[in-house]
Amino acid sequence: MRILFVGDLVGRSGRTALLTRAAELKRRLALDALVVNAENAAGGYGVTPAILAELFAAGVDLVTTGNHVFDQKEIIGELEREPRLLRPLNMAPGTPGRGAAEVRTARGKRLLVLQVMGRLFMGLYDDPFRALEQELARHRLGGTVDAILVDVHAEATSEKMALAHFLDGRVSLVAGTHTHVPTADAQILPRGTAYVSDVGMTGDYDSVIGMDKEGSIRRWRSDLPSKRLEPASGEATLCAVFLETDEGTGLARRIAPVRLGGRLSQAWPEGCT
């Protein structure tokens, strides 16, 4: 399978970068599935039903979120209704929505997407290791599903790496999100699971993690309450990882960064036109 996972969309700039390129990406990379983290898509804070509709219309197959998932209150009902929208799996029992969903591709392949939230510096969430263990007990890579993608929305690289090694050989890809900075450690672990500590945001990098830099500087320099930060509005860099899996085992054959537009150095998988 060929899968593209796009990092955190930040504001209108990030949305535009994806929406204008989605069809081209699917064609040029011959994608089976396009998965996007959109937890900062609505002005930097959550995602709305209208934005979701835009993403799905553009060809996005599934949307993950994160700690801002409930910032837009109208999304709560959508989490119950829309099976293609995930919130972290390790939220408290009774939380609206789901943390796991299956995508059936045009070729009939089955992609399972899971999302968990880290706990270090993030909040009082349930154990992501246990949550993933329980969910994976119901699925077998290369058997009941053809590929498994895990979005680890977390601050600490140590926690992301530990989760990746814990899952090595049982999932296709463990991809970190949340820090909005792409890391250079994309690799395939010893038992065949692809890993990257952070995919990076899809947003304007002339900013402070996607937010207006002047407002961010003022906030850092004062202890007084300040108004909510606004997303930077310059041209975004689309940041993603491209995954190619073995058709038999579901393990990774290749992982490669994708960076298009904006300020960052550009990256594209070798051999893909």
269 found inside a domain: no
Residue 225 has pLDDT above 90, yes or no: no
Task: Please say if 165 is a catalytic residue.
Answer: no
Contacts of 111 (CB under 8 A, 6+ apart): 1, 3, 32, 33, 35, 61, 102, 103, 104, 105, 145, 146, 147, 148, 149
Question: pTM of the entire structure?
Answer: 0.96
Residue 271's pLDDT is: 86
122 found inside a domain: yes
Q: Categorize the per-residue pLDDT at 113 as very low, low, confident or very high, splitting at 50, 70 and 90.
A: very high
Residue 259's pLDDT is: 98
Task: For residues 191 and 163, give the distance between their C-alpha atoms in angstroms, rounded to a whole number.
Answer: 14
45 found inside a domain: yes
- Please tell me whether residue 19 adopts helix, strand or coil conformation: helix
* Count of domains for the chain: 1
Residue 231's pLDDT is: 95
Residue 229: give its domain's CATH number: 3.60.21.10
Q: Which residue type occupies 46? A: G
- Please tell me whether residue 26 adopts helix, strand or coil conformation: helix
Which of 216, 265, 206 is closest to 239 using CA atoms?
265
Share of the chain above pLDDT 90, in %: 96
265 found inside a domain: no
270 found inside a domain: no
Residue 123 has pLDDT above 90, yes or no: no
102 found inside a domain: yes
Catalytic residue of the set 68, 153, 178, 180: 68
Residue 228 domain boundaries:
2-260
266 found inside a domain: no
87 found inside a domain: yes
Q: Categorize the per-residue pLDDT at 273 as very low, low, confident or very high, splitting at 50, 70 and 90.
A: confident
Task: Express each pLDDT in 83-101 by its tens digit.
Answer: 999 999 999 999 999 999 9
